[in-house]
Structure formats: structure tokens, C-alpha cells
Amino acid sequence: MQNDISVAALCLNLEQKLMEVWNNELTLERYRKVLAEFTVFAGNSSYSQSLGADFLIARFTERGGLVSTDEHSRKEETYFRCMRMLAEYHNFGIIHRRNDFFGEIVWPGPFRQCTEGFFEAVIKEGLSYGYVTRSRMIIHDLLLFLDARDIHTPDKISVRDNDEFIKSFYGLSPKGIETKLCTLRRYYRHLYLQGYIRVPLAERLPKASIQGRMAFPTVWGQDEIKKIEDSAERISPAGKRSYAMVLLAARLGLRIGDIRNLKLHDIDWTKKQISIIRHKTQKALLLPLPEEVGWAVIDYLKNGRPVTESPNVFVRHRPPYDAFSVTSSLNHIFSSVMVNAGLPPEKNTDVGWHTFRRSLATNLLQNNVGINVISEILGHSDPDTAGKYYVQLDLENLKKCALEMEVMDYVRKDS
């Protein structure tokens, strides 16, 4: 944390950092404008998040007032993002962009020892890199929230602060809320056991109920899958990348994490096989590479993939052309694919990359492929668990299991 630094100095430092990591000159110019306005607004004042909030209120009041909905103009979003980046850079010395941290996180002074100790313990437990990265983002958001409330030491965190932070989870899926609460519970438990806090905040966290589903999960039939594949744009480099990803998800049932992390050396072109270590389970999986899928990947590698030193098959198409973040869900690519197919995903639905995997399993079931075979194809570690899940999606075969109800006349007996 850069304590007691003037707004002018902090804005200058952030601008220099942005010039190192940002390649879009138009976006840079927008941020420079906001930083310059904030510098004039603050005068000789030292930086604080509350001062940044005052600046936003003043600017939006001039423009007609704050918007209470989630809809903002591009200009308003630029102001919000710039102020958030300034807060992140002040607190952690990093820039957070699309699930990536540009720079090594330096945790704020009083939180540094306890937070670094927490992540050392998590890593020793053998938890995955993806879990650790997601946990960093959650703790990062927590400390940013606490800073906005002028809480700069662990022992000052109250139950009320905790409750207010949890309110920011509103709108997330039950699973998303559970993930955040699980990380917070682990973090608070560490702080309590190590003596950094006196109140057992972990025990004050609510439990997220994810029993059952809010809606029946979406499954696509073979005709819908074919429509999505056939409508894919395959001319531009991004289109070739999207098409190859869709085929890997639809034909092989690969999770998006495994597609995102697919390495060049994972593909044996001679044997026409893909050999990976699954991102979720860390177990090996060997799959045949169908001809059409193979040609789609080859087309991307030869005619779409930018020149890069990255070992990953799929990379970003903007400098420095590196691999996608380990936490990126690539939803922007999925959305563009669905728009091309005339099936734009609606808000608050469960449609995503995983729908391809779910649909493949269901279509195989409807073609009388056994659960054990499907589990082997999809790389499930527990066939029984997978079977219970996918069987409930097979409506056609479930209809065959329906029992006839005996219809009886209802006669009320007078007493």
C-alpha cells in the first residue's frame, strides 16, 4: 500500500504502469483524461477511496445524476473502472484486468503477513493453482472493500463489516456465493487461529444452500449443436479459434478449463490423440482426436494463431499474445458463438461452455451408450456420481420409466 501519497503522484504512477501493460491507445487516452480530472479535483490532497467516491459523485451529478441500475454509458464505465484501478494500484501495487493481475500482488502492510501465511498454508494443502488464484481475487476484493470503510488492520474487522461485504454477492449464482463464502471461511479461520482477529468471523458466515437447482439445466439436442457448429464464423483468426474451441467442447466434451489450458505438446498428430492432465481433477485423460476436430485446430494454428512463444494452443489475439488467464471462463468467446447461431444467451440462465459437455452426455445416453462409457469419455473420477447427474437430464428415457397411476373413483362417504 502506498500510504499518504498525493493524488497527483499516484495518478502519475498509475499512468506509467498502464503504459507498460496496455496496448490500446484509445483506452489509455480515456484513462489519462479521467486521471487528469481527478488530479485537478483533488488538488494537494492525499489519496483515499472516499475522495475517489466524492469525485465520481461530483462528475456524475454534473452529467445528470447517478444511475441506480446496472446500465451505464461507456464514459461512465470508464470513470468507474479508472477509479477502481487507482484503488487497486494504491492498495496492492497491481492492475487487475479481465481476471489477470499485471504485477505481483503486494498485500497491504498490516494484512501482509497474515495473508501471505494464509496462501502458503493453502498451497501446502495441495489445492489447485486455479483455486489459489480465485482465492487471491476474493481476498483482494475483501481488502479493497475494507479499505473503503477505513479498516486497515485485521483486528478491526467486525461482524457488521463482514455482513456488508457479503451483500455484494447479491446476484451471483448459489455456487458462486458458496465459492466466495468457502474462501472467506478458510481465510477468517486462519486469521483467528493465528491470533490476528479475536472474533471467530468464520463461524458468523452464513451457509450457502446449493441443494437442488433453480431451473432444470439446459441441454441441446443434436440439431441445435449442429446449428451452432454450422453457423460458426471461420474466416477471421478469432472465428477460427472459436470454431476449434466449439468442436473440442461439443465433440469431445472437454471442460473449458481443459480447452483453455490445452498445450501444443498435448496433441499427438501421428496417433490422432489428445493427452491432457485435467484442470479440475489433476488426473490424466486420453481421447481420440476426430478428423474434423483435428482439421479445425490445424486451421487455427496455421491461419489464425498469432506468432507467440506461448505453449498453449489457444491464445489472446492482442499483444502480448499470451495464454488466457487460468481463471478466465472465456464467456466473451462463447457469447459471440451463440450470437452467430442466433441463440444469444439470456441473463440468469445456466447456458455456457459446460452446456456442450452436458448435451454430449445426454445425447450419448439417448443413444443407449452406457454410463461407464460416458464417464470414461468425459473423464469423470466417479461414474456413479456422474451417472446420477446425467440420467436426470435424459428426459426421453425417463419418460419410459414413468409408472401408470391407478385411477380410482373418489366417493365421499357420508358420516
Between CA 207 and CA 180 the distance in angstroms is: 11
Instruction: Give yes or no: 280 in active site.
Output: yes
357 is catalytic: yes
CB 390 within 8 A of CB 365: yes
For residue 288, give the C-alpha cell.
481420440
Over its C-alpha atoms, the chain yields an Rg (Å, rounded) of 25
* Angle, alpha carbons 117-120-126 (nearest 5°): 145
Q: What is the DSSP string of 20-39?
A: HH---HHHHHHHHHHHHHHH
The one catalytic residue in 59, 255, 260, 305 is: 255
**Catalytic annotation on 255?**
yes
Q: What is the C-alpha separation between 252 and 287, in angstroms, rounded? A: 8
Beta strands in 54-115 (DSSP E): 95-97, 100-102
Q: Residues 213, 318, 388, 389: which is the catalytic one?
A: 389
The single residue listed with the C-alpha cell 478491526 is 156
Catalytic residue among 140, 357, 358, 390: 357
Buried b (16+ CB within 10 A) or exposed e, 386-401: bbeebeebbeeeeeee
User: What is the sign, positive or negative, of the torsion defined by CA atoms of 58, 48, 95, 352?
Assistant: negative
Half-sphere exposure of 242 (CA within 13 A, CB side): 24
399 is catalytic: no
Q: How far apart are CA 45 and CA 95, in angstroms?
A: 23
* Grid cell in block for residue 223: 440439431
Please identify which of the residues 72, 189, 263, 354 carries the catalytic annotation: 354
Which string of b and e fits 236-247 if b means at least 16 CB within 10 Å?
Answer: eeebbbbbbbbb
Report whether 256 contacts 354 (CB < 8 A).
yes
Is 175 an annotated catalytic residue? no
Out of 271, 280, 283, 318, the active site residue is: 280
What residues act catalytically? 255, 280, 354, 357, 380, 389
